C-alpha cells in the first residue's frame, strides 16, 4: 500500500500485524479523496478505527492542517506513528499537529475543542450496525462535528446505515456484498 496523492504520493504505508485489520485499498482511498477535493487542504480531521492510518495519512499528504488518529490496538497506533513520520518527512512537514491515541474510539475524548472538518471512520464490518449508531451519537454529544463537517464511513456495499440526526449526502462505491464503499454524512 502507498499514499495515492499529494506531497507524499508513493510513500509506502506499513500495515500492523493485527487480527481483523483490512486496510483501505489505494483505489478506494483515491475515489474518496477525489470526491473530497480541496476541502482536505487546511482541514482538521479525525481518523477513527484508524488501523494503519491510511485515511488520515492521505489527508496529511494532501494538505490537512491537523488531526487525530484513534485505534484501540497498540500495534496499530505504533504503526501509525511510524507511517506519520515518513509521510511528514516526505511532505516536508512537522508532525506536531497530529495526535495518535491508543483508546477505544467510543470512550475517547478529544484534546481539541470545536468541530472538525472531516471524520474518517472504518469500524470492524461485523460490528458496523452496532458501532455505527453509537459513533454518530458520540460525535454529536462530544461536539466533534458541526454543520460543515463531513463524515466518511467505510462500510460494506450492501449495508445501509441511517443514523439519527444525520443525512446521507452521497455514497461512493458499488453496492456489492462485502465490497468496500463510503457513505458520506452531514448533520441534518
Q: pLDDT tens digits for the chain (188 residues)?
A: 999 999 999 999 999 887 777 777 778 899 999 999 999 999 999 999 999 999 999 999 999 999 999 999 999 999 999 999 999 999 999 999 999 999 999 999 887 767 999 999 999 888 888 898 899 999 998 999 999 999 999 999 898 899 999 999 999 987 777 788 999 999 98
Is 54 among the domain residues?
yes
Q: Which residues contact 127 (CB under 8 A, 6 or more apart)?
A: none
- Residue 156 parent element (H or E): strand 150-156
Is 101 among the domain residues?
yes
Q: Which residues contact 99 (CB under 8 A, 6 or more apart)?
A: 67, 68, 69, 111, 112
pTM for the model stands at: 0.94
Distance of alpha carbon 103 from alpha carbon 81, whole angstroms: 15
Is 3 among the domain residues?
no
What CATH number corresponds to the domain at position 139?
3.40.50.150
Is 59 among the domain residues?
yes
CA dihedral 49, 54, 58, 59 (to 10 degrees): 10
33 close to 57: Cβ distance less than 8 angstroms: no
106-119 burial, b if ≥16 CB within 10 A, otherwise e? eebeeeeeebbbbb
Is 16 among the domain residues?
no
Q: What angle do CA 187, 140, 127 make, to 5 degrees?
A: 95
Is 34 among the domain residues?
yes
Q: Which domain holds residue 45?
A: 28-187
Is 131 among the domain residues?
yes
Total H helices, total E strands in the chain: 4, 7
Is 17 among the domain residues?
no
For the chain, the domain total comes to 1
Amino acid at each position: 500500500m502507498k499514499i495515492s496523492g499529494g506531497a507524499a504520493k508513493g510513500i509506502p504505508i506499513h500495515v500492523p500485524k493485527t487480527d481483523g485489520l483490512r486496510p483501505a485499498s489505494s483505489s478506494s482511498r483515491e475515489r474518496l479523496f477525489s470526491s473530497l477535493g480541496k476541502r482536505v487542504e487546511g482541514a482538521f480531521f479525525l481518523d477513527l478505527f484508524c488501523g494503519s492510518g491510511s485515511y488520515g495519512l492521505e489527508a496529511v499528504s494532501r494538505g490537512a492542517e491537523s488531526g487525530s488518529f484513534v485505534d484501540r490496538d497498540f500495534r496499530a497506533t505504533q504503526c501509525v506513528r511510524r507511517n506519520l513520520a515518513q509521510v511528514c518527512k516526505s511532505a516536508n512537514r512537522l508532525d506536531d499537529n497530529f495526535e495518535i491515541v491508543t483508546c477505544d474510539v467510543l470512550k475517547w475524548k478529544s484534546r481539541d475543542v470545536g468541530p472538525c472538518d472531516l471524520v474518517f471512520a472504518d469500524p470492524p464490518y461485523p460490528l458496523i450496525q452496532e458501532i455505527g449508531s453509537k459513533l454518530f451519537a458520540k460525535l454529536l454529544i462530544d461536539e466533534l462535528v458541526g454543520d460543515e463537517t463531513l463524515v466518511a464511513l467505510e462500510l460494506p456495499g450492501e449495508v445501509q446505515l441511517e443514523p439519527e440526526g444525520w443525512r446521507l449526502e452521497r455514497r461512493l462505491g458499488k453496492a456489492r456484498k462485502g465490497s468496500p464503499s463510503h457513505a458520506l454524512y452531514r448533520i441534518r
